[in-house]
Structure 1
Amino acid sequence: MSELVARTGRHQQRYKDGYRLIAGCIPYKFRYSEENGSADSENNIEVLMINSTSGPGLLFPKGGWENDETVEEAAKREAIEEAGVRGDLMHFLGDYEFKSKTLQDEFSPEGLCKAAMYALLVKEELDCWPEQSLRQRRWLTVPEAIGCCRHSWMRKALEEGFSKWHADGMIKTMK
Structure 2
Amino acid sequence: MSELVARTGRHQQRYDAGCRLIAGCIPFRFRCSDGNNCDNSKKIVEVLMINSTSGPGLLFPKGGWENDETVEEAAAREALEEAGVRGELMHFLGHYHFKSKTLQDDFSPEGRCRAAMFALLVKEELASWPEQSRRVRTWVTIPEAALCCRHSWLLEALENGFNKWCDAGMVPTMGYTK
Q: Which band: TM-score by shorter chain?
A: over 0.9
Question: 1:54 Cα shift?
Answer: 0.2
SS at match of 2:76: helix
Unaligned runs of 5+ in 1: none
How big is the shift at 1:33? 3.4
Residue 38 of structure 1 pairs with residue 39 of structure 2: no
RMSD of aligned residue pairs (Cα, Å)? 1.1
TM-score (norm 1): 0.95
| Number of residue pairs the alignment of both structures matches | 171
TM-score for both structures, normalised by structure 2: 0.94
Partner of 2:26: 26
Matched AA of 2:42: S
Aligned to 1:133: 133
Q: State yes or no: 1:101 paired with 2:101.
A: yes
Question: Equivalent residue of 2:72, what SS?
Answer: helix
1:164 aligns with 2:164: yes
Taking only the aligned residue pairs, the percentage that are identical comes to 75
In 1, the alpha carbon distance for the partners of 2:2 and 2:20 equals 29
Any idea what SS the aligned residue of 1:162 has?
helix
Counterpart residue identity of residue 108, structure 2: S
Match of 1:78 in 2: 78
Mapping 1:60-75, distance limit 5 Å? 60-75=60-75
Q: How many angstroms does 1:38 deviate by?
A: 2.5
One-letter identity of the residue aligned with 1:129: W
Runs of 4+ in 1 over 3 A off after TM superposition: 33-37
What corresponds to 1:8 in structure 2? Answer: 8
Q: Which amino acid aligns with 1:156?
A: E
Q: CA deviation at 1:173?
A: 1.1
AA aligned to 2:63 is G
Query: 2:90 aligns to what?
Result: 90
Whole-angstrom distance in 1 between the partners of 2:84 and 2:174 = 21
Q: Distance in 1 between matches of 2:70 and 2:125?
A: 23
What's the counterpart of residue 48 of structure 1? 48
Q: Compute the displacement of 1:162 (Å).
A: 0.1
- Between the aligned partners of 1:48 and 1:135, the Cα distance in structure 2 is 12
Q: What is the CA–CA distance in structure 2 between the aligned matches of 1:77 and 1:27, rounded to whole Å?
A: 12
